[in-house]
Amino acid sequence: MAGELRFDGRVAIVTGSGAGLGREYAKMLAKRGARVIVNDIVAERANSVAEEIAASDGTAVAVVGSVSDRAVAAKMVTTAVEDYGRLDIVVNNAGIIIMKPFAKLTDDDLTKTLDVHLMGSWRLTQLAWPHMQKARYGRVIMICSSSMFGMKYAAPYSVAKAALFGLTRALALEGTPDGILVNSLAPVAFDSSMAEEVLSGTQSLAVRERYSAASVAATVAWMAHQDFKLHGECLVSYGSNLGRIFMGETQGGRCEQGAYTPEAARDLMSRAWDFKDFVLPTSTRDDFRVISDHDGEYADASFDALEAAVESSE
């Protein structure tokens, strides 16, 4: 494939873009022609990035506040539409991390984390959605994390990032018919502000250059581009490497109807762990075909009825 990936005429919102990864995402998109809404909870940081972009002949405006506040999310969308006439790209990057042993975590720790990562992404994307539907075009990137595999002492963070992966999959199914492609990205960068909170000294310095935020920004630009046609996927970007995170299911094992007992479950474990011919369901409907003996007609009829009931209630 040839040709520079450009964003001339496109408008993007990047949350949490006053520093670290978000700053690099905003700068990369602006460098390639996008007009960018820069967001951060610290006014000095948001304004500084917007000014930095302007000084490099780019176009950006700062919106200060937390994505946990629906009014702030609404202001970002309104600013994009009123100032620039459109909204094409949303990068849900804002996040926090609270690290404690599980026994010492509080409900407030979980609520705070979910409110930024999950609910912030939910609010902003939901407010941007009608504009993208009207334009029949949109690119939404949820910034996930490999922490959804499980990260010791970071249960709220792991929960929030796994939830974003689920949100990605659900919205991809709804958005694709309207040209709105929703995907997620698990970045690895050790010169980001969040990494600096959990790493220090020589440990951080040793990997800072190898895994930079600027390199991840290249992946964000590709995922945000009109030529990127995937939906419901999760890429992983680290240094000069690009990979894919996927959710699969084995074919498993079955026994005779009525014969499934605790002992049968025990005896089927080896077949459940057999990765031969594993599948990558793209939806719950897809997965239902697997668990219902590949009875596609039955699965489709069930989900057709469910979806028709929702659509008829609107």
- Could you read off the pLDDT of 166-201 as tens digits, one per residue? 999 999 999 999 999 999 999 988 765 555 555 555
184 shares its domain with 219: yes
Sign of torsion, CA 42 65 22 88?
Answer: negative
3 lies in a domain?
no
Rg (CA), the chain: 21
Distance, CA of 249 to CA of 174 (rounded, Å): 23
Residue indicated by tokens 């949109």: 138
Which of the four pLDDT bands, split at 50, 70 and 90, describes residue 303? confident
Residue 299 domain boundaries? 249-312
In percent, the amount of the chain with pLDDT more than 90 equals 77
Beta strands in the chain (DSSP E): 11-14, 35-40, 59-64, 89-92, 138-143, 180-188, 234-238, 241-245
Q: Which residues are catalytically annotated?
A: 157
Residue 204, pLDDT score: 55
| Domain count for the chain | 2
In this prediction, residues 56-64 reach a mean pLDDT of: 99
255 lies in a domain?
yes
| DSSP label of 279 | B
**Does the pLDDT at position 126 exceed 70?**
yes
Distance, CA of 203 to CA of 24 (rounded, Å): 22
From residue 219, how far is each of 34, 42, 78, 213 by CA, in Å?
16, 26, 27, 10
**Does the pLDDT at position 50 exceed 60?**
yes
Which of the four pLDDT bands, split at 50, 70 and 90, describes residue 1? low
219 shares its domain with 71: yes
Residue 287, pLDDT score: 87
286 shares its domain with 234: no
Residue 124, pLDDT score: 99
Distance, CA of 24 to CA of 14 (rounded, Å): 10
5 lies in a domain?
no
2 lies in a domain?
no
Please tell me which residue, 175 or 298, carries the higher pLDDT value. 175
**In the listed set 202, 219, 245, which residue is the last one of a domain according to the structure?**
245
181 shares its domain with 60: yes
**In the listed set 217, 245, 273, which residue is the last one of a domain according to the structure?**
245
105 shares its domain with 227: yes
239 shares its domain with 257: no
Summarised one tens digit per residue, pLDDT across range 137-159 is 999 999 999 999 999 999 999 99
6 lies in a domain?
no
Summarised one tens digit per residue, pLDDT across range 75-123 is 999 999 999 999 999 999 999 999 999 999 999 999 999 999 999 999 9
186 shares its domain with 258: no
45 shares its domain with 172: yes
In this prediction, residues 2-9 reach a mean pLDDT of: 93
**In the listed set 222, 245, 268, which residue is the last one of a domain according to the structure?**
245
**Does the pLDDT at position 278 exceed 60?**
yes
Residue 282, pLDDT score: 92
Assign residue 227 the CATH number of its domain: 3.40.50.720
